[in-house]
Amino acid sequence: MSLDTFLALLVYAFVTSITPGPNNLMLLASGVNFGIVRTIPHMLGISIGFFVLLLAVGFGLGAVLTAFPALHTGLKIAGAAYLLYLAWKIAMSRSLSAKGEVEAKPMRFIDAAAFQWVNPKAWVMAITAMAVYTNADHPFLSVALISAAFAIVNLPSVSVWAGFGTALRGFLSDPVRLKWFNIAMGVLLAATLWPMLR
C-alpha cells in the first residue's frame, strides 16, 4: 500500500468514525447520562470490537455474507431489533447517573464490542474499507494495515462524542431538558437504521 493510499484510508477511517451513527449517538447519550469515566468501557468496546470485525471481514467473513444472502438478512434484522431496543432504553432514561446509582448503567465493554457485529454502519464501513483498500497481491498485509488505520483513528473519534455528551451534563441536569434530550437521542438512534436498511 502506497503512502498516498494509506493517507486516503486514514481520511476514510476518520470521516466514517467521526460522523453520526449508532455508536456515536449512544456515546453522546452515555456521556450525558454517565460522564466520561463511566463511558470509557463503552468507547473501548466499540474500538476493539470494530477492529475484530474488520479483521474478520478482511479474512473472509464478508465473502460468506455475500454467498449466503439469508445470513446477511438475518444479521440486518437482528441488528435492527437490538438497535431499536437500545434506542428505547435511551429514550426512556430520565435521570443523570451518579457514581453510586444502581438502576441505570452504561454499556459494558463486552456489550459494546458485540454490538459492532449487528451494527449496520459498522458492517458498511468494514466491507467498504476492505473492498476499496485491500491489495490482492498482499492480502494479509493490506487487511492488517486497514485494521491498524481504523485502530489509530477510531478511539479518538468516538471519544469526541462521549466528551461532548459529558460537556452537556450541566445544561441537561434539568430533568425536563434531560428527558427531551434522551427522547431525541432515542429517536435519532432509531433513525440511523433508515439509510442502512434500505
Q: What is the largest CA-CA distance in the chain?
A: 58
What is the extent of the structural domain holding 32?
3-196
Half-sphere exposure of 157 (CA within 13 A, CB side): 22
Specify the DSSP class assigned to residue 171: G
Per the listing, cell 449487528 goes with: 118
More confident residue, 23 or 62: 23
Q: For residue 100, what pLDDT is reported? A: 43
Q: For residue 60, what pLDDT is reported? A: 83
Q: What's the number of domains the chain is made of? A: 1
pTM for the whole structure: 0.78
**In which band, very low, low, confident or very high, does the pLDDT at 102 lie, cut at 50, 70 and 90?**
very low
Least confident range of 18-27, 28-37, 92-101, 178-187? 92-101
Residue 5 contacts residue 142 (beta carbons within 8 Å): no
Least confident range of 85-89, 118-122, 125-129? 85-89
Count of other CB atoms within 10 angstroms of residue 36: 17
